[in-house]
Amino acid sequence: MTFAPHGKHLIAGAWIAGDETFTSEPAHGPSHDFAIGRIKDVDAAAQAAEEAFWSYGYCSRQKRADFLNSIADEIEARAEAITQIGSQESGLPEARLQGERGRTTGQLRLFADHILKGDYLDQRHDQAQPDRQPMPRPDLKMMQRPIGPVAVFGASNFPLAFSTAGGDTAAALAAGCPVVVKGHSAHPGTGEIIAEAVQAAIAKFDVHPGTFSLIQGGNRQVGAALVTHPLIKAVGFTGSLGGGRALFDLCAARPEPIPFFGELGSINPMFVFAGALANRGAEIAKGWAASLTMGAGQFCTNPGVAVVLSSELSERFAETTRAALSEVPPQTMLTDGIAVAYRDGQQRVAGTRGMQEILTSMCDQRNATPYLFQTTAQNWLANDTLGEEVFGPLGVIVTAESEAEMQQVALSLQGQLTCTLHMDAEDTDAAKTLMPVLERKAGRVLANGFPTGVEVSDTMVHGGPYPASTNFGATSVGTLSIRRFLRPVCYQNLPDALLPE
């Protein structure tokens, strides 16, 4: 099945052309022209979303669940075409796109099942106590209610699972909130075909067409207009720290500030304890190399740092990692801009005093090759910039002279999406000492694994203290993500006829 994009925005059920266009820059295959978003497109989409909220926000959970399942069905019906255009635009292998499509449809179906159970509403009831002294208590009921139209920004590194109908969109729609998506210019054709799937589901279940709109990228002013539009009540974002912080500040500066749920990246450090290093050092090193280079390192949970105790074993660990990384061929990065940023990050790390190059390579144009560096804990602690994310397959080994110094490294960390412990039974006491620090630093702490796999489930937390995310109490993955687009309402002495479902 061949898909030829028409390059228009989807606004309130209509495909709208623009005054100007931008041309896509695919990794391979033909390029296409797409309309550049305009301020008036943002206003039209937001107005339609507000109108849709009065029906969609108050429809039954069953209808919303059916709608979510239908979006998943329509995406699967376009599977071959989605893989084709997604692979061309992103350079990701077909198997990765197929897996990501499964994750996208899987989370839509999971959210559909979750809202039918009703637990997410957090319903509470304090019955009236008219005879209570010294004052009677009224009848009080509380439940979570949808907040209104939500803006979602497509991510560069996940053209399906974190973009047009990805986690933020699925969570907002599950909550009862219409969505306006600003598509990412790295994969506009993929965004368009997914929008067609959502549009088909809207028609099938007679959902208000303003419930979903897609405005293509190409203009930063559109993003600013979207987060400052007075009808938008929350924002979901996955992207860079600089871009996310700029949008966050705009949300906070509005006359009516709104929540900005930004996932901004992380270095995801691993702490390798002495017992694990002695017993499984080579295995951990090879696993780290595989995780570090998966998808050219373009995962927000890419484990970029390994902290180990300095010894002959740590030198073996470094050499095993180097050997494994040296066998990885060049990989295509998602965009030219990401490739440039990766090279800039590599040069920043290489230029840091006290940094030893263990594996250096040559990457050019849109290709990425691995790099591996090593430094001491004291040098790490003296250079704040080493804690900044390098988006790509670059690893840093930090050698500590003691467990106390390892803890100092942990204490120096900014907020993280993940922290990992590699430990055996004899490392339990050392790990216990580090745990209070790590759970304050990260949204997810894991043992004896690698963080690049993020399960979409009830228990997953994909977030963390700033700058990993802008809201430490939220997650952008899993059913708990729906709560971001709800707010509690208390109903006092209201008759049942006035209460929500």
Residue with tokens 């990412």: 184
Which residues in the chain show pLDDT less than 70? 1
Residues in the chain: 501
Q: What is the pLDDT of residue 366?
A: 87
**Number of helices (H) and strands (E), helices first, in the chain?**
14, 21
Cα distances (angstroms) measured from residue 87 to each of 91, 136, 159, 266, 439: 5, 65, 10, 26, 37
Residue 272's nearest CA partner among 281, 264, 282, 261 is 281
Neighbouring residues of 90: CB distance < 8 A, sequence distance ≥ 6: 27, 97, 159, 186, 187, 190, 334
What DSSP state is assigned to residue 4?
-
In the three-class reduction of DSSP (H, G, I as helix; E, B as strand; rest coil), residue 255 is classed as coil
Catalytic site positions:
263, 300
Q: What SS3 state is found at 418?
A: strand
Contact between residue 441 and residue 465 where contact means Cβ atoms under 8 Å apart: yes
Give which of 288, 280, 307, 283 is closest to 403, Cα–Cα.
307
| Integer Cα distance of 230 and 249 in angstroms | 15
Tell me the C-alpha distance between 476 and 149, whole Å.
17
Q: Is the dihedral of CA 15, 155, 345, 326 positive or negative?
A: negative
- How far apart are the C-alpha atoms of 187 and 87, rounded to whole Å? 9
Tokens (6 digits) for 253: 């500066």
Cβ atoms 149, 179 nearer than 8 A: yes
SS (H, E, C) 131-189: CCCCCCECCEEEEEEECCCEEEECCCCCCCCCCCCCHHHHHHHHHCCCEEEECCCCCHH
Segment holding 410, helix H or strand E: helix 403-412
Quick: pLDDT tens for 235-265: 999 999 999 999 999 999 999 999 999 999 8
* Number of neighbours of residue 95 by Cβ within 10 angstroms: 10
Token pair of 4, please?
Answer: 């030829």
CA–CA gap between residue 436 and residue 428 (Å, rounded): 13
Could you report how far apart the first and last alpha carbons of the chain are, in Å?
Answer: 43
Q: Cα–Cα distance between 491 and 123 in angstroms, integer?
A: 11
CB atoms within 10 A of CB 39: 14
* Spatial separation of the C-alpha atoms in residues 375 and 310, rounded to whole Å: 10
Quick one: tokens of 372?
């591996």
What is the reported pLDDT for 1?
61
Q: From CA 112, how far away is CA 410, in angstroms rounded?
A: 39
- Cα–Cα distance for residue pair 24/296, rounded to 1 Å: 21
CA angle 133, 137, 139 (to 5 degrees): 155
Query: What is each CA distance from 298 to 25, 114, 460, in whole angstroms?
Result: 18, 30, 20
DSSP SS3 for 303: coil
**How many CA atoms lie within 13 Å of 11's alpha carbon, on the beta-carbon side?**
22
> Using an 8 Å Cβ cutoff, are 146 and 485 in contact?
yes
- Per-residue confidence (pLDDT) for residue 343, from 0 to 100: 93
* Helix segments in 209-265, DSSP class H: 220-228, 241-253
Cα 73 from Cα 235, distance rounded (Å) = 26
Report strand pairing: 9-11 vs 14-16: antiparallel
How do residues 349-398 score in pLDDT, each as one tens digit? Answer: 999 999 999 998 777 778 899 999 999 999 999 999 999 999 999 999 99
Question: Are the C-beta atoms of 290 and 335 separated by less than 8 Å?
Answer: no
Cα dihedral 146, 147, 149, 153, rounded to 10, equals: -100
